[in-house]
Amino acid sequence: MQQRCRTHRAAVERAGSRAGLDPLLLLAIAWVESGFNAEAESHAGAIGLMQLIPVTSARMGCQDPSEPECAAQAAAAYMKRLLRQFDGQLVYALCAYHAGPVRPLRAFRAGQMPGNVGYAERVLEARARLERFGCQGR
């Protein structure tokens, strides 16, 4: 996984910077979503490094989410959109990235934590590890 992280790090961090996002946050999403595997496919139909559903990827301007640079740009655009939708509340935006925005939005409006908050915690932990150790991750 460390080699895959090093392989994709520049593209993911570039996409984050271009979108005005924390580049390490986007890299942490790639870590949690796919283990930096650009060929990953989920049972739910998400594909690529950033594990985007093809429809979401296309809406964010990427027709080929299996291509890492394209996927990173789409994921950054999507995360930026989610952060706006959730008034900058990172945990809700991360939960929406993982499960789609419907349930996290209901929880947000009700002042409750989303049911998949563990996902957001894993991403934030991965981000802290990346900040401290880089692609070594420890």
Active-site amino acid positions: 33
Return the HEC string of the chain: CHHHHHHHHHHHHHHHHHCCCCHHHHHHHHHHHHCCCCCCECCCCCECCCCECHHHHHHCCCCCCCCHHHHHHHHHHHHHHHHHHCCCCHHHHHHHHHHCCHHHHHHHHHCCCCCCHHHHHHHHHHHHHHHHHHHHCC
